[in-house]
Structure formats: C-alpha cells, structure tokens
Amino acid sequence: MMKSPVRKVVFPVGGFLPVTKAVPKEMLPVVDKPLIQYAVEEARAAGIEEFIFVTSAGKVALEDHFDRHHQLEDALVSRGKEAELRALQATMPEEGRFSYTRQQQPLGLGHAVWCARNLVGDEPFAVILADDLIMADTPCLKQMIDVYERHGGNVIATMAVPQEQTARYGVIDAGGVEANPVPVRALVEKPAPDQAPSNLAVIGRYILQPEVFTHLDRKETGAGGEIQLTDAMAKLIADQPFHGLKFEGVRFDCGDKLGFLEANVAFALARDDLGAAFAERLGGYTNPR
Ligand code: G1P
C-alpha cells in the first residue's frame, strides 16, 4: 500500500487559563528558546513542510516570534554579531509555510485540532503538543514517521507512567502485547487508575489520518465535558492501522511546574555552551532564603 507523506503539522497552542492570558504557555522559554520553537524544530527535523498553529491566546506573540525583526537584524549586523544573526535567521520559516487559525472557544483538544481541518485538507498530518518536551537523539516525531512508513495508518507516542497517574492521560489498551510499536486495540481518555486498560499513556505526538476529522465533526464530548482527540482517534482503530511507539528519549511535562523546572535544568545541563558551568553552580546550590 502506498502511504501519503506526512507534510503538515498542527500545533494546538495556548489554553484559556490566567497564565496564558496574553502569552501562551508554549511561548515560555526552556533555557533560551520558547517551547513552541523546540516543537517546530522537531517537526522540521522529521521532514514536515507546513506548520499550522491553532491559537487561542497569544497569536500576536507567536506570529512575531516566527517573523523577521529587521531592526534587531540591523542592530546585530552593526555590532558584528554574525553568530547571533545566523541563529536568529535559522528560526525563520520560509514565507507561506506557517498558517495561523483561532480556536474561539475552549472546547477541548479535539476541537482545537478540528479547527485546523481546512488547513490540513485530505491528507495525513502530525500533531505536536509543545508542552510535552522530548529530549532525544532522534527527534520523537522522526521516530514516529519511521514507524508510519513501515505500518501506515495512525501512530501515537506512548510511554509507561505510574498507574496512579492514568487519570492525567489518554491511555492505550494494547491487549497485553509487549511489542514496540504496539498495536492499539482501544484508547480511553483520563481513566481512573482502577479503570485504566494499561499504564501506557499517550504523549503529545500524533500522526493521524484525515478521517479523524469526520469523527471530530460530530462534536461529541467526553472526559471533562470536552471534545477529546482521544475519543475521535479511538473510532479510527476499527478501520485503520493504529500503533503506539514507545519512543526513545526523555519527556518533560512542561504543563506542570515541576516538569517545567526539570526541563530547564536538563536542557541547560545538556548544552555544550552552558552545561559544565551550570552543573558547577547547581552543585553548590541551596535554598537562599
Ligand atoms: C492531552 C490529551 C491526553 C494526552 C496528554 C499528553 O491531555 O488529551 O490524551 O495523554 O495531552 O500530554 P491534557 O494534557 O491536555 O490534559
């Protein structure tokens, strides 16, 4: 079977809570880059060509971040800061490859993805939740594209989480199979620990077939009264291949304060230019109060 290439990615950006009032959480920096930029770089490294942002708050901050800033570029040139200029230019998309649309009501992740339906059209696409930051030698989405090229259909990222945390995630029913990638038999959004079919959680990376929009079109609500992407995906399983990849890499939940702080420490320690000096400072660190 010929598989259509995955050319597009959708980034649901920004919730509706106070912290994201003007700046979406995806614009928060880990070390010196906003989360969304890590996500864009991961998608690019996986061969994605078109980038679709579904924003609610902070559209302006996002568009500005991925736009040229001529004054800044001129200032860098006049101060001879060539390396900084190149780094800045490397984040710029090719014109016409970035699109923005608005989710107008907080109806859930499924609804946010549905808002991108016309921009995606009738082809497979990826979704990245930028607050799931993944440090990996091979970018997580690239690992998933490799699975997609072998199996087709739909591919989601998964990892084992402590059983008591299943209610925070979409959870996979793998029928007890230990394979990797694992065939997905069913999906449940945020099950209580004693109801969860396994402890394999869905992490925010998806390769989906466009038929998912048919299910999202029905606007059925699920866990938390929201339109859940998990529920729409679950309906694809009967008709299409569906696999969960236990990816290689470390995932940081940047939607959570501790996870966000940990990501900053881990990404700083991993940097060639900062790691050694930062480790030295951290080593002697105590609560200054
Ligand atoms: C969303 C999805 C959930 C998934 C999680 C991964 O939940 O609904 O299935 O496991 O992302 O981070 P949220 O974090 O928006 O509650």
133 lines ligand 1 (CB under 6 A): no
Q: What counts of helices (H) and strands (E) characterise the chain?
A: 11, 14
How is 57-72 classified by DSSP, letter by letter? S-HHHHHHHTS--HHH
pLDDT surpasses 60 at 20? no
pLDDT digits (tens, 9 = 90+) for 87-98: 888 878 888 999
Contacts of 62 (CB under 8 A, 6+ apart): 13, 24, 26, 27, 36, 53, 55, 100
**Amino acid 195: pLDDT:** 97
Q: Which amino acid is at 121?
A: G
Identify which of 114, 129, 132 to mutate to test ligand 1's pocket (most ligand atoms within 8 A of the CB).
Answer: 129
Cβ of residue 231 lying under 6 Å from some atom of ligand 1: no
Centroid of ligand 1 to alpha carbon of 286 (angstroms): 34
Does residue 140 sit in helix, strand or coil?
helix
* Residue 202 near ligand 1, beta carbon < 6 Å: yes
Q: Where are the domains of the chain?
A: 8-275
Rounded distance between C-alpha atoms, residue 28 and residue 33, angstroms: 8
User: What is the pLDDT averaged over residues 192-207?
Assistant: 97
| pTM, full prediction | 0.95
Measured by CA distance, the residue closest to atom 9 of ligand 1 is 170
Q: Do 124 and 2 contact (CB within 8 A), yes or no?
A: no
DSSP letter, residue 242: E
Ligand 1: nearest atom to the Cα of 189: 9
Q: Specify the range with the lowest mean pLDDT, choosing from 11-25, 59-73, 149-163, 175-189.
A: 11-25
CA 275/CA 10 separation, integer angstroms: 32
Domain spanning 8-275, CATH class: alpha beta
Q: Average of pLDDT values for 183-200?
A: 97
**What's the rounded mean pLDDT across residues 147-152?**
97
